[in-house]
Copies of this chain bind each other. A is one copy, B any other.
Amino acid sequence: MSDKLSFLVFGAGAVGSVFGWRIQVGGGNVSVVCRSNYEAVKKNGFTINSDQHGKNIFTPNNVYSSAKEAVANGEEYDYVLVCTKALPNIEDPTIVLKPIIKSNKTAIVLIQNGIGIEEPYIKAFPGNPVIPAAAFIDSKQLENGVIEQGNICDLTYGLYTDSILEKDEEYKKRGELALKAFDKALISGSVGSTIEEHLQRSRWFKLIWNASFNPISVLSGQYSSSELLDNPGTCDLIKRAMNEVIKAGEAVTGGPLHEKVPSSHIPEHFVKFTRVRTTTVIPSMLQDYMSKRPMEHEVILRIPIEKAKAAGVEVPILETLYELLVMNEKKNLQ
């Protein structure tokens, strides 16, 4: 056994592969579980064209096709990076991780969009540090195993707690150690690393983009982000949906969603951020819709809507988008 930290990237697509690659470059032992791109990655590894770091081949220490395979030789991982889509309405996301988590030693890092994703892991793996993250990364999988990445590769994360875990000193101590070592691993790989006490605010901040552009791109009849912004009506609708997320997020997390950008400037901030991107941005939900895959409407809309209402915030636009989206998906997946 080496004394390197061991990482298992679960769902190594556009996001997981780049973080895995950087962590390996920084000195970590990085294995991956692939699904649709398994054959290609097993054979050739990942080809990653990065504006930040040039053109590279990333050969994971091990490439597996399933969780079972990843522990077949008794492996135990320091970190599991969950980079799959969050689809709790389709399957309990913890079942597939069961074979991998053997003790409290393994920290579970959730590099996924949406709100309310942590609860199932806390229940299924009591004692394991659960570390939700907000990824800011501009990567795309062009074909199986071939990744394109621009200049953004940052991870903001923190230890998940709730009213019970808040009093669990063992959990918090184990978690703090996991956070620190993870921070080191990321920095060694030149990933922008931020440990954030108010991590849920960062997740809601990211949700502002996701809960507006994503459903509207599907429901408007399949338009890219810039096409939606070029039409004054949908540009305005996007900003108004964003304002619902901002109000809800502030009420739920008890504070502003960004340290520097004032709430009233956030919609324009995201619009500008989206406009300057030179490549056509097809929001992930629209990509999923076009490929007849399930969309992440539960963690991006339903759970946030529930939390908003519980906090006394009305979100009629988000509710409208959610209901329409679910019905569209029903027909699309038939």
Name the B residues within 8 Å of A220 (CB-CB): 323-324, 327-328
Confirm or deny: A177 has a beta carbon within 8 angstroms of a beta carbon on chain B.
no
Selected contact of A327 from candidates B223, B326, B332, CB within 8 Å: B223
Chain B proximity mask over A228-239: 1 for CB below 8 Å, otherwise 0: 100101101100
Contacts A/B (CB < 8 Å), 27 sampled? A219-B219, A219-B324, A220-B327, A220-B328, A221-B327, A221-B328, A221-B330, A221-B332, A222-B331, A223-B327, A223-B331, A228-B327, A233-B323, A233-B326, A233-B327, A234-B323, A234-B324, A236-B323, A237-B319, A237-B320, A237-B323, A240-B316, A316-B317, A316-B320, A317-B320, A320-B320, A320-B321
In the complex, which residues 303-334 of chain A have their Cβ closer than 8 Å to any Cβ of chain B? 316-317, 319-324, 326-328, 330-332
Q: How far is the CA of A231 from the CA of B331 in the complex (A)?
A: 13
Interface of A is mostly: helix
Confirm or deny: A216 has a beta carbon within 8 angstroms of a beta carbon on chain B.
yes
Residues of A whose CB lies within 8 Å of any CB of B are 216, 219-223, 228, 231, 233-234, 236-237, 240, 316-317, 319-324, 326-328, 330-332
Name the B residues within 8 Å of A237 (CB-CB): 319-320, 323-324
Name the B residues within 8 Å of A323 (CB-CB): 220, 233-234, 236-237
For residue A213, give the distance in angstroms from its CB to the closest CB of chain B.
13
Q: How far is the CA of A221 from the CA of B334 in the complex (A)?
A: 12
Q: How far is the CA of A207 from the CA of B216 in the complex (A)?
A: 25
Name the B residues within 8 Å of A236 (CB-CB): 323
Among A221, A233, A234, A328, chain B packs the most CB atoms within 10 A around the CB of A221
For residue A222, give the distance in angstroms from its CB to the closest CB of chain B.
7
Q: A220-B328, A221-B331, A237-B320 are in contact. List 17 more A-B contacts (CB 8 A).
A: A216-B324, A219-B324, A220-B323, A221-B327, A221-B330, A221-B332, A223-B327, A228-B327, A231-B327, A234-B323, A234-B327, A236-B323, A237-B323, A240-B316, A240-B319, A316-B316, A320-B321
Name the B residues within 8 Å of A328 (CB-CB): 220-221
Q: How far is the CA of A111 from the CA of B274 in the complex (A)?
A: 46
Instruction: Determine the residue in chain B with the shortest Cβ distance to A237.
Output: B323
Q: How far is the CA of A228 from the CA of B327 in the complex (A)?
A: 9
For residue A102, give the distance in angstroms from its CB to the closest CB of chain B.
40
5 nearest A-B pairs in the assembled complex, by CB-CB distance: A220-B327, A221-B328, A221-B331, A233-B323, A316-B316
Q: How far is the CA of A328 from the CA of B231 in the complex (A)?
A: 12
Q: How far is the CA of A219 from the CA of B321 in the complex (A)?
A: 10
Q: How far is the CA of A236 from the CA of B222 in the complex (A)?
A: 25
Name the B residues within 8 Å of A228 (CB-CB): 327
For residue A332, give the distance in angstroms from its CB to the closest CB of chain B.
7
Name the B residues within 8 Å of A316 (CB-CB): 240, 316-317, 320
Q: How far is the CA of A248 from the CA of B283 in the complex (A)?
A: 34
Name the B residues within 8 Å of A233 (CB-CB): 322-323, 326-327
For residue A201, give the distance in angstroms from its CB to the closest CB of chain B.
25
Q: How far is the CA of A326 from the CA of B220 in the complex (A)?
A: 8
Q: How far is the CA of A330 from the CA of B234 in the complex (A)?
A: 13
For residue A224, give the distance in angstroms from its CB to the closest CB of chain B.
12
Name the B residues within 8 Å of A319 (CB-CB): 237, 240
